[in-house]
Amino acid sequence: MPEQLTAPLVVSFPFTRSLGPVQSAFLTGLRERVVLGVRAHDGRVLVPPAEYDPTTAEEIHELVEVGTTGTVTTWAWNPAPRPNQPLATPFAWVLVRLDGADTALLHALDAPGPEAVRTGARVRVRWAEQRTGAITDIACFEPHDGPETGHATPHHGTFTDPVTSLTAPARLDYTYTPGRAQTRHLGNLARHLLTGERCPSCRKVHVPPRGACPTCGVAATEQVVVGPRGTVTTFCVVNIKARNLAIDVPYVYAHIALDGADLALHGRIAGIPYDQVRMGLRVEPVWRDGDRHPDHYRPTGEPDADYDTYKRLL
């Protein structure tokens, strides 16, 4: 069994979302240290507010201001906060029904320990110092000593410079593992050996191998050495420089049918002016010092391959 290849894979995506009028008023309100809810058709006050009635699906827009104090409806003690969560020290997740609201808001409660938290506990908003119009403008909740006071009062919901969109950055870290077939293939490439897999059913040799014949849907396990020489079956001229890629444009990217392979792989063609690359050109891989895979393919100097020898691979 060859060494198990792994690679870090970071997926980072800052989604920008436009907000509806109710969401916009709510998040702008948080920036101004005001908590707004919306009244549903059945009279209930929803906090956080929805754009549409949960029962009738009609648009709702009757905004009300509720209290910044509330009551815990359920809680969970989080002894080991994870990155990005509201507090870095152990805290309680809480659903809080703010005074004047009929539904509960999820947030964190800063409390010394689980013994200090219970359902029914009174809490109040602790505002973040820097507020931008986001749910995190509430830094967290904190214990509060006081009876339920607030009731919902009508609110115009208009503010200067309202927040109309939300940028939600997210980053997830993965460990990519290529699997058995690709690991073997990459290991062989590092030893300057090009390999494919033969399908036990249709006998075709697939390069690069993926563990299965995509046509027959069966596991392909027979290793076959292919190339190293091959034929350009088709190509394109790249004229736009890629970011973080130290390759001058224009250059040629080609489908290459390695000798003995039944599927063309792709690679960059160099060692020949870009406008002289052609279908049928015979090429071979070039490894630079220390490379784990071919850097590019260059002409072998052989006569061009006859069209009939590679047309089924187009």
Partner 1 sequence: MTPRPRDVAVVAFAQSDHRRATPGLSETELLLPVLREVLDRAGLAPGEADFTCSGSSDYLAGRPFSFTLTLDGVGAWPPIAESHVEMDGAWALYEAWVKILTGEADTALVYAHGKSSAGDVRDVLTRQLDPCYLAPLWPDSVSLAALQAQALIDAGETDEDDLAAIAARNRAAATHNPHAQLRGAVPHGDYVVRPLRTGDCPPVSDGAAAVVLAAGERARRMCRRPAWIRGIDHRIEPHDPGRRDLTDSPSTRLAAERAGAFDAPVDTAELHAPFTAQEVILRKALRLTGDVRVNPSGGALAAHPLMAAGLVRIGEAAARIHRGESHRALAHATSGPCLQQNLVAVLEAELEGEPE
Binder among 41, 146, 192, 218 for partner 1 (CB under 8 A): 218
User: What's the closest the beta carbon of residue 257 comes to partner 1, in angstroms?
Assistant: 18
Q: From the list Zn ion, partner 1, none, which binds 199 (C-beta under 5 to 8 Å, kind-based)?
A: Zn ion
What's the number of CA atoms in the CB half-sphere (13 Å) around residue 222?
Answer: 12
- For every residue of 165-182, which 3-state class applies, written as one string? EEEECCEEEEEECCCHHH
Instruction: Please count the residues of the chain.
Output: 314
Distances (CA, A) of 258 to 44, 171, 210, 286, 308: 69, 39, 17, 14, 15
The binding track of 208-227 with respect to Zn ion, each residue x by CB under 5 A or -, is -----x-xx-----------
Binder among 106, 170, 202, 245 for Zn ion (CB under 5 A): 202
Applying CB under 5 A, does 4 fall inside the site for Zn ion? no
Q: From the list partner 1, Zn ion, none, which binds 314 (C-beta under 5 to 8 Å, kind-based)?
A: none
Q: Are 283 and 300 in contact (CB under 8 A)?
A: yes
User: What's the closest the beta carbon of residue 19 comes to partner 1, in angstroms?
Assistant: 7
- For every residue of 61-116, which 3-state class applies, written as one string? CCEEEECCEEEEEEEEEECCCCCCCCCCCCEEEEEEEECCCCCCEEEEECCCCHHH
User: What's the closest the beta carbon of residue 125 comes to partner 1, in angstroms?
Assistant: 14
**Please, which residues have CB within 8 angstroms of residue 150's CB and are 6 or more apart in sequence?**
66, 67, 68, 69, 98, 99, 100
Q: Tell me, what amino acid is at 80?
A: A
Q: From the list partner 1, Zn ion, none, which binds 212 (C-beta under 5 to 8 Å, kind-based)?
A: partner 1
User: d(Cα 38, Cα 53) in Å, to the nearest integer?
Assistant: 9
Which residue lies nearer to partner 1 by CB, 209 or 285?
Answer: 209
Q: How many degrees, rounded to 5, is the angle at CA 135 between CA 65 and CA 171?
A: 165
Applying CB under 8 A, does 151 fall inside the site for partner 1? no
User: Which 109-148 residues touch partner 1, going by CB under 8 A?
Assistant: 114, 119, 134-136
Which residue lies nearer to partner 1 by CB, 55 or 276?
Answer: 55
Which residue lies nearer to Zn ion by CB, 203 or 266?
Answer: 203
The binding track of 250-289 with respect to partner 1, each residue x by CB under 8 A or -, is ----------------------------------------
**Please, which residues have CB within 8 angstroms of residue 130's CB and are 6 or more apart in sequence?**
none
User: Which 164-183 residues touch partner 1, going by CB under 8 A?
Assistant: 166, 168, 170, 172-183
Q: 33-63 burial, b if ≥16 CB within 10 A, otherwise e? A: ebbbbbbbeeebbbbbbbeebeeeeeebebb
Token match 């507010």: residue?
A: 49
Which residue lies nearer to partner 1 by CB, 6 or 276?
Answer: 6
User: Which 10-69 residues touch partner 1, going by CB under 8 A?
Assistant: 11, 15, 17, 19, 23, 27, 46, 48, 50, 54
Q: From the list partner 1, Zn ion, none, which binds 224 (C-beta under 5 to 8 Å, kind-based)?
A: none
Q: Which residues bind Zn ion (CB under 5 A)?
A: 199, 201-202, 213, 215-216
